[in-house]
Amino acid sequence: MKHDVFISYSSKDSAMAQEICHLLEDCNIKCLMAPRDIPAGSGYNSAVAQDIKECKAVVLLFSESSVFSRRVVDDLFAAAFFDYKPIVSYKIEPVAIEDDEESLCLFPMLYNGFCVESYSDFRAGFAELIKIVSNITIGKTYKVGDYYNENGKEGVVFEVSADGCHGKIVSMKHSVDELQWTSDESEWGRVLCADWEDNGAFNMGKVIAIPGWKEKYPAFAWCANLGYGWYLPAIKELEVFTLNDSVRKLVNQTLVSKEGAKIDDDDLGSYWSSTEVYHLDWVWRVPVYGSTLYDRKNYNYYVRAVSAF
């Protein structure tokens, strides 16, 4: 690849974007950004889509301006849903991604990546950015069953990209107790349209949009409490490490060796997914032994979190 990272930013933050670009390039990280690197006469959307495809990651300058930027949303949509590139949110202002109403459209895309705060301590924030981006661009590869412990995330790899550089990890532990998908009676019959089968981060974004969600949705809160980027898996993500015998075996071997909790402990019943049954107020779950089922949201099942890298 000619470039390591694509820098996405609001035009109102262009001066800061250029400064970050120069600092990254001083650290031998090759950057691509518009309009500097888009040829004259090129259509912006098509050029950016190709730029993102050719980079290893996207660095977003996250600010109040970028929350409202259509261009930023388009950049991240291409990165998160078309090319599955890691997104590093570099917060240059104290905007709470999960609390700001306007940022909720970005949240499902951002939640699969990394978040760095730089506004309170620029030096420390930039050092963290360099560490994360360097880990991504070095090209360290993983395979299913590998132990992962990078950038504050610890888990076991259960899915990887073709080049082994990106994938998903499952948490070392599951919830101590069975939890309700939602414990609020007024939410039991509510349809959230959290029905993505292969993107739990999107479903998580639907829940986080609800005021007081951490008290109302304990299964999701347990995952979020592990740290930024952890989410309740969608049904297809959950099936990979529970119902695929070869994957489950490899993951369990590493969990046991690292003193984690096995996927199929004998005292477990089922794991919740984050996926609603399409247009219904039921949710898919996966028994430790058996096939996929669905139940009401007030039932109690165990929770296991996943995260992307």
Query: What are the tens digits of pLDDT across the range 187-231?
Result: 999 999 999 999 898 899 889 889 999 999 999 999 999 988 899
What are the residues whose beta carbons fall under 8 Å from the beta carbon of 62, sequence distance 6 or more? 89, 90, 91, 92, 93, 95, 97, 110, 115
Residue 225's closest CA among 179, 264, 194?
179
CA-wise closest residue to 115 among 138, 84, 94, 140: 94
Mean pLDDT of 158-186: 93
How high does pLDDT run on average in the chain? 87
- Give the Cα separation of 14 and 137 in Å (integer): 24
Residue 197 vs residues 40, 144, 168: alpha-carbon distances, Å: 40, 21, 15
Which candidate, 135, 118, 89, places its Cα nearest to that of 229? 89
Q: Do residues 301 and 285 lie in contact, with contact meaning Cβ atoms separated by under 8 Å? A: yes
* pLDDT band with cut points at 50, 70 and 90 for residue 37: confident
The top-scoring range by mean pLDDT among 35-44, 82-91, 138-147 is 138-147
Q: What is the pLDDT of residues 133-164, one digit of tens each?
A: 988 887 789 999 999 998 788 999 999 988 88
- Closest residue by Cα to residue 102 from 160, 128, 63, 134: 63
Which helix (H) or strand (E) is 273 found in, with range? Answer: strand 270-276
**Gap between the Cα atoms of 157 and 108, Å rounded:** 21
Distance CA 63, CA 281 (A): 35
Residue 103 above 60 pLDDT?
no
CA distance 91 to 129: 10
Give the domains, in start order, of the chain with CATH numbers. Answer: 5-138 (3.40.50.10140), 150-308 (no CATH)
Q: Which residue intervals of 143-269 are DSSP H helices? A: 200-208, 213-216, 218-224, 235-242, 245-257
pLDDT at position 140 is 81
Using a 10 angstrom Cβ sphere, with 0-12 exposed, 13-18 middle and 19 or more buried, the burial of residue 298 is middle
The pLDDT score that the predictor gives to residue 188 is 95
Backbone angles phi, psi at 185, to 5 degrees: -60, -35
To which residue do tokens 């599951």 refer? 174
pLDDT at position 111 is 65
Who contacts 46 (Cβ-Cβ below 8 Å, separation ≥6)? none
Task: Write down the pTM of the prediction.
Answer: 0.78
- Of 107 and 102, the structure prediction assigns the larger pLDDT to 107
What per-residue confidence (pLDDT) applies to 5?
92
Strands 282-287 and 270-276: antiparallel
Rounded-to-integer distance, Cα 252 and Cα 153, Å: 18
Kindly report which listed range (27-31, 58-62, 243-247, 264-268) carries the lowest average pLDDT score.
264-268
Tally Cβ neighbours within 10 Å of residue 247: 20
* Three-class SS state of 256: helix
Q: Per residue in 150-166, is it b (16+ CB within 10 Å) or e — as a string?
A: bbebbbbbbbbeeeebb
